[in-house]
């Protein structure tokens, strides 16, 4: 049987959030997610999708003009062939950013060169704040980062408490949930003197809320 990945869409865009914001990438969005965040903007990945042979996907990614490949979802780590895909495209000279919820093990990916991990720490407004696999925190490197989506003061308190409790080798990003005042979030971080980055969802600022951007 040919090995395949279940894919929602493949598109060219710029990275819209996190420490690699603004870098052109080819995005490979996988189907299926094990979480149900209340403010999820990718609910269309929960069903449907198209099975694409592993080698075809590797050829598409390897032949792209962009240096970076973003493997996102849904939850890309649910895909059985994801590790082999990542190893193949990095061997071809690409760099890979993996966007993950943090609920599944990341150890296999932290052993691969030219891979960066963008790992969520789900806040209370998501309804999935207990989903984090805490052991992943110990595996993250300086090239990785964790991200908190902040919708309200309760989320902010959760995120700041989390950072106080856990010693991290990687950087942290506070991202306002879409529609949340980024000025309030930035001023709160400055007032408290937190060593985090406050970053918006750049792709939504440019193109609005739509797929394939």
* DSSP secondary structure string for all residues of 138-163: GG--TT-EEEEEE-SHHHHHHHHHHH
The tens digit of pLDDT for each residue in 19-68 reads: 999 999 999 999 999 999 999 999 999 999 999 999 999 999 999 999 99
Q: What is the pLDDT of residue 211?
A: 83
Q: What is the pLDDT of residue 167?
A: 87
Q: What is the pLDDT of residue 172?
A: 97
Q: State the average pLDDT for the chain.
A: 95
3-class state of residue 179 by DSSP: coil
Decide which of 3.20.20.70, 3.30.465.10, 3.50.50.60, 3.40.30.10 is the CATH code for 4-32+43-207.
Answer: 3.20.20.70
- Whether the bond between 74 and the residue before it is cis, its omega within 30 degrees of 0, is yes
Q: What is the pLDDT of residue 64?
A: 95
pTM for this prediction: 0.95
Q: Which residues contact 152 (CB under 8 A, 6 or more apart)?
A: 125, 180
The Cα 32–Cα 1 span in angstroms is 21
The tens digit of pLDDT for each residue in 150-175 reads: 999 999 999 999 999 998 999 999 99
pLDDT reading at 123 higher than 70: yes
Q: Which residues contact 130 (CB under 8 A, 6 or more apart)?
A: none
The Cα 166–Cα 15 span in angstroms is 27
Q: Which helix (H) or strand (E) holds 189?
A: helix 182-192
pLDDT reading at 93 higher than 70: yes
pLDDT reading at 1 higher than 60: no
How far from 66 is each of 23, 24, 30, 159, CA to CA, in Å? 9, 6, 19, 33
Q: What is the pLDDT of residue 2?
A: 66
Q: What is the pLDDT of residue 209?
A: 83
Query: Residue-wise over 143-153: b if at least 16 C-beta within 10 A, else e?
Result: bbbbbbbbbee
3-class state of residue 41 by DSSP: coil
Q: What is the pLDDT of residue 108?
A: 96
Q: What is the pLDDT of residue 213?
A: 79
Q: What is the pLDDT of residue 210?
A: 83
Domain chopping of the chain, boundaries: 4-32+43-207
Q: What is the pLDDT of residue 37?
A: 96
Q: What is the pLDDT of residue 32?
A: 97
Least-confidence region, from 1-10, 50-59, 140-149:
1-10
């Amino acid at each position: 049987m040919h090995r395949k990945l279940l894919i929602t869409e493949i598109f060219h865009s710029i990275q819209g959030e996190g420490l690699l914001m603004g870098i052109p990438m080819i995005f490979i969005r996988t189907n299926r997610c094990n979480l149900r965040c209340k403010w999820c903007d990718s609910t269309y990945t929960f069903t449907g999708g198209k099975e694409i042979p592993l080698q075809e996907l590797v050829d598409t990614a390897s032949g792209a003009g962009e240096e970076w490949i973003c493997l996102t979802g849904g939850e890309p780590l649910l895909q059985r062939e994801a590790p082999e895909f990542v190893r193949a495209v990095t061997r071809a000279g690409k760099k890979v950013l993996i966007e993950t919820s943090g609920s599944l093990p990341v150890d296999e990916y932290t052993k691969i060169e030219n891979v960066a991990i963008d790992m969520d720490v789900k806040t209370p407004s998501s309804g999935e704040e207990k989903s984090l696999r805490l052991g992943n925190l110990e595996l993250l490197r300086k090239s990785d980062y964790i991200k908190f989506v902040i919708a309200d003061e309760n989320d902010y308190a959760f995120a700041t408490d989390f950072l106080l409790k856990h010693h991290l080798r990687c950087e942290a990003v506070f991202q306002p949930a879409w529609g949340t005042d980024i000025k309030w979030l930035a001023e709160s971080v400055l007032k408290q003197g937190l060593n985090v980055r406050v970053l918006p969802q750049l792709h939504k600022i440019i193109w609005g809320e739509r797929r394939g951007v």
